[in-house]
Structure 1
Amino acid sequence: MKFDSIAIVGAGALGSYYGARLALAGANVRFLLRGDLAHVRSHGLTLREKDATRHLDHVAGFATAAEIGPVDLVIVTLKTTANASLPVLLPPLIGSRTAVITLQNGLGNEELIASIVGTERVLGGLCYIGVTREAPGELVGYHTPGRMTLGELNRPAGERVHAVAGLFSGVGVHTRVLDRLAEARWQKLIWNVPFNGLAVARGGLTTDRLLAEPVIAAEVRPLMDEVAAAARHFGYDVSESFIQSQIDVTPTMGAYAPSSLVDFLAGREVEVEAIWGEPLRRAQAAGLAMPRLAALYRELLTASQRS
């Protein structure tokens, strides 16, 4: 299976980075751009990575989805805080064979997209990468090209998701395809819920400072255990060794600022609902008590309103 045309919806750091890597490898990539449109059209995209600096001179940038038109693959990299725009952005991109993959954080994104374009089109991916946009058209990679876990919504992996995996592995991304995408989403929350959340709620702490404070560090494992208990209730595998690995790996990151902290410090809206609100609602609907997550969710709502 081949994707002759690709649209990037949400050409921030993540979308611009992956779109540029794909375009540099010869893919026909069309970028939906907003504020950076004129600059990127004139100057292209620059990727500054540890191994090399890469430049995409000619960027197919567009102001609207209607200008892009139907494509074979839509890659959604919007922040989930902008998901209300998807009913407008996605339909002009959909043709008879279009697949849509969301690389967004948290829970509920695949289901939302399915309500717009149909369940049969929807794929999902989890990204493990460090890349930031430091200026218009300027992307700096700290942990690139990263890793990606891919799957399909509510069905085992098929030919299409393996084709998407091949697309990304072709530009150096280590890809893994799973039959249970939802399980991987819950597993990623094991780290994201405590570390992204406490980094913001405790006053803007990088992970090294968070772990250096015994009182704050003591909050991490109980939050992980609550998320793990909910995941297991829904039939997903979260082993004790997996939880411990998420704790053990964090000191190796150094003074790492999780994505939610980066957004918070920049005055952007934090993805509170997708990462904390949606798992809490699903657990509570199933009759599960998650008092620590509920308290953290309330704190993050308050902090977000102040930012």
Structure 2
Amino acid sequence: MAWNFKSVAIIGSGAIGLYYGGRLAQAGENVKFLLRSDYDEISANGLKVESCDGDFDLPKVQAFHTPEEIGPVDLVIVCWKATANASLPDVLPPLLHCATEVLTLQNGLGNCESIAGIVGPERVLGGLCFVCINRLSPGLVSHTAGGKIVVGEYAEGAEGRAAEIAHRFKAAGIPCSAADNLQRAQWEKLIWNVPFNGLSVAEGGVTTDILLADPAIEDRIRAIMHEVVAAANAQGLGVEESWIEWNIERTRPMGPYRPSTMIDFVEGRELELGPIWEEPIRRAEEAGVAVPEMRRLLSDMRHRVAERDARQ
């Protein structure tokens, strides 16, 4: 039996949450946003999105300060950085009824497990966003490329959930597909995230065009990507080597793109080291794969963060 949803709560209304939640709301879905720093601006003036797929404004947005004000919904979409996951035990329960599903669009590994520990694995889905997007200011989002989401089941659940979410997202103008293997899709996303997010920090806070302008750094990107693929395949996931060149070539036209971790770094925020670097390294080595380039990258990132924090 197909599963359906009639109400959505967006948890983490940064670039990802505002963009995808905004697309759903524009299409007529009943979307409620949990807002903090943007609450006053969006409550008063709505949401504006500058998009390569067409700009749009939402003059009226369902904005809330607390999950208790939102109340139970059919679908919760977790969009905040994993560094905020300590708040999940307080935020999720007020949003649940007996059949609520929880979809995480967070980067890296371990987020589904964190959510499953609170709501139960049968409720949980994971999604991967392949998009270039930044929040420019309160209530203003810039979308410059991509936009596809891949959604998959974390564990055995109600038949048709991922396909229904993909169908509804596509109806809202969001390219979306249902994955037959969520874990494989997560590792495929890491092929880009590990090197590009990581090296943008390790090199001192630089954009992707600067990384690819240096042949030595491009070689390092490829070496890291090969380790990610090897780690995935040691777990039986069947990730194709062709993802390496595809990810590098799709990055060249992005120009001076600022990866999300680079933005967190230059703005003095905590980085998502756990899900994007530490947990993949742990799983790789548990599967018997040495990942010296990934370990070197993590060490370089920690060094940069320590330098930054010492200056603050």
TM-score, normalised to structure 2, is 0.93
Cα separation, 2, equivalents of 1:157 and 1:244: 36
Counterpart of 1:75 in structure 2 is 77
Does the Cα contact within 8 Å between 2:200 and 2:211 map onto a contact in 1? yes
Question: Residue 76 and residue 212 in structure 1: after superposition, are their counterparts in 2 closer, same or farther (change >3 A)?
Answer: same
- Structure 1 unpaired stretches of 5+: none
Amino acid at match of 1:14: I
Identity of aligned residues (%): 50
2:94 to 53, 75, 92: 92
Partner of 1:218: 219
- Please list, as runs of the form range in 1=range in 2, the aligned pairs for 1:76-225 lying within 5 A after superposition: 76-143=78-145, 146-155=147-156, 158-225=159-226
Post-superposition CA distance 1:168-193 (Å, at most 9, x none) = 10111111111100001011111111
Residue of structure 2 in register with 1:292 after alignment: 293
Q: Deviations over 1:189-213 (max 9, x none)?
A: 1111111111110122222211221
Deviation at 1:121, TM superposition (A): 0.3
Displacement of 1:157 in angstroms is 8.7
Between the aligned partners of 1:300 and 1:264, the Cα distance in structure 2 is: 10
| Counterpart-to-counterpart distance in 2, 1:64 and 1:157 | 29
Q: How many residues align?
A: 306
Preserved CA contact (<8 Å) 2:192 2:247:
yes
SS in 2 for 1:205: coil
Q: 1:184 to 1:167 in 2, by over 3 A?
A: same
Task: Return the alpha-carbon distance in structure 1 between the equivalents of residues 102 and 182 of structure 2.
Answer: 15
**1:157·1:177 contact (CA, 8 Å) conserved in 2?**
no
Cα distance in 2, alignment partners of residues 279 and 268 from structure 1: 22
1:205 counterpart letter in structure 2: V
- CA offsets, 1:94-118, max 9 Å, x none? 1011000000101111111000000
Is the 8 Å Cα contact of residues 5 and 28 (structure 1) preserved in structure 2?
A: yes
**Partner deviation per Cα, 1:202-248 (whole Å, 9 max, x = no partner):** 12222221122122222111111111111001011122222222223
Q: Output the aligned Cα RMSD.
A: 1.6
1:156 offset after TM fit, Å? 8.2
How much does 1:283 deviate? 1.8
Q: 1:300 to 1:63 in 2, by over 3 A?
A: same
Superposition map of 1:48-59 within 5 A: 48-59=50-61
In structure 2, what is the Cα distance between the partners aligned to 1:103 and 1:223?
23
Letter in 2 for 1:8: I
Provide the rounded CA distance (Å) in 1 between the counterparts of 2:108 and 2:236.
18
- Name the aligned partner's letter for residue 173 of structure 1: I
Distance 2:305 2:212 in 1: 22
AA aligned to 1:302 is H
